[in-house]
């Protein structure tokens, strides 16, 4: 059974939950995927986090920033205190500056899959818990509008504090601009791949040329923008084959192909196999989401 995100996250674009609660909702499993949401984890006790296959030993009183579409798992976490703030870009982006923050190296870092900001102050854990967690819970109980406003303000404060911790020399690297654009392209691709399959659509949305977008994706991802679109379609096809009972015709339509024959040729061209050959190849568990 796939983990179901909370109704609050669906409704407002923001949710706050302790790690234990998230695991319980996931039937005890500790593997998740951030899907389209941004995640900020508040780790109060030392905790092992595995993000995109890389293990991080996160020290207590640290903040962990994880971007969309990342696979997350945990080591031993029984008795460990940690909370996750999950939120959509729509929830956070209330100004152009907010957009810059979301597309910064906090969430999109080409050196690592995650940014970890240790807290260097001398504030006791219970005081940290109050300002980060309990205060928002009080707003949540009192008024929904106040809660949403307080949540945005809290996120903004946390993000600004973390940006101060970034090495300024790294931030000046001109290639960080590439990271921002490529990851915005990835987020748009996740949203629009079923209806938009041309590089020009995404380049226009990013206000850059198709040539510029391709040079950026080749530098960051080692693939052209067109190859990334093709990979996305192939991966989504393989997921549908493995995890659903949809017919090839239905999958073709779902992925935005109006003609099944064209879809079959597309898959054969880019995988070397006909769509019907995939059904019997692999069976595995689909990643859970927070």
- Specify the pLDDT at position 48: 96
- Residue ranges, comma separated, of all CATH 1.10.10.60 domains in the chain are 176-277
- Specify the pLDDT at position 120: 56
- Specify the pLDDT at position 145: 87
Cα-to-chain-centroid distance, residue 142: 30
- Specify the pLDDT at position 219: 82
- Specify the pLDDT at position 150: 93
Please report, for residues 18, 48, 139, 277, 285, the alpha-carbon distance to residue 26 in angstroms, rounded to integers and kept in the order given.
Answer: 13, 18, 27, 32, 13
Quick check: 155 and 86 in contact, CB under 8 A? no
CATH number given to 176-277: 1.10.10.60
Superfamily for the 7-171 domain: Regulatory protein AraC (2.60.120.280)
Structure tokens at 211: 């040539």
- Specify the pLDDT at position 75: 95
H-run or E-run covering 126: helix 125-129
In the chain, which residues have pLDDT < 70? Answer: 1-4, 96-97, 109-112, 120-122, 166-176, 280-290
Cβ count near 184 (within 10 Å): 18
What's the full length of the chain, in residues?
290
Residue 280 and residue 268: Cα distance in Å, rounded? 16
- Residue ranges, comma separated, of all CATH 2.60.120.280 domains in the chain are 7-171
Please report, for residues 24, 62, 73, 81, 166, the alpha-carbon distance to residue 162 in angstroms, rounded to integers and kept in the order given.
Answer: 30, 10, 23, 20, 7
The helix/strand/coil state of 272 is: coil
Cβ count near 217 (within 10 Å): 24
Among 16, 10, 7, which residue's Cα sits nearest to residue 155? 16
Among 218, 184, 176, which residue's Cα sits nearest to residue 204? 184
- Specify the pLDDT at position 280: 65
Quick check: 214 and 145 in contact, CB under 8 A? no
Please report, for residues 180, 223, 232, the alpha-carbon distance to residue 196 in angstroms, rounded to integers and kept in the order given.
Answer: 21, 18, 12
Q: What predicted TM-score, i.e. pTM, was given to this entire model?
A: 0.62
Burial class (CB in 10 A: 0-12, 13-18, 19+), 30: middle
């Amino acid at each position: 059974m796939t983990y179901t995100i909370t109704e609050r996250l669906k409704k407002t674009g923001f949710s706050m939950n302790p790690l234990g609660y998230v695991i319980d909702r996931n039937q005890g499993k500790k593997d998740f995927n951030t899907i389209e949401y941004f995640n900020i984890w508040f780790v109060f006790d030392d905790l092992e986090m595995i993000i995109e296959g890389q293990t991080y030993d996160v020290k207590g009183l640290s903040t962990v920033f994880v971007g969309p579409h990342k696979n997350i798992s945990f080591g031993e976490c029984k008795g460990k205190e940690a909370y996750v703030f999950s939120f959509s870009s729509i929830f956070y982006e209330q100004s152009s500056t907010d957009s810059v923050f979301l597309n910064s190296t906090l969430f999109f870092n080409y050196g690592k899959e995650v940014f970890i900001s240790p807290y260097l102050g001398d504030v006791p854990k219970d005081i940290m818990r109050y300002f980060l967690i309990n205060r928002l819970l009080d707003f949540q109980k009192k008024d929904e509008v106040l809660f949403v406003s307080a949540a945005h303000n809290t996120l903004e404060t946390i993000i600004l504090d973390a940006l101060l911790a970034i090495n300024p020399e790294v931030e000046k690297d001109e290639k960080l601009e590439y990271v921002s654009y490529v990851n915005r392209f990835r987020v748009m691709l996740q949203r629009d791949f079923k209806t938009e399959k041309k590089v020009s659509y995404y380049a226009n949305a990013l206000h850059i040329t198709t040539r510029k977008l391709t040079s950026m994706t080749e530098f960051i991802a080692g693939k052209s923008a067109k190859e990334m679109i093709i990979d996305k379609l192939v991966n989504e096809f393989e997921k549908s084959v493995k995890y659903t009972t949809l017919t090839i015709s239905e999958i073709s339509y779902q992925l935005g192909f109006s003609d099944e024959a064209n879809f079959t040729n597309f898959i054969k061209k880019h995988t070397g196999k006909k769509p019907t050959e995939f059904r019997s190849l692999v069976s595995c568990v689909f990643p859970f989401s927070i």
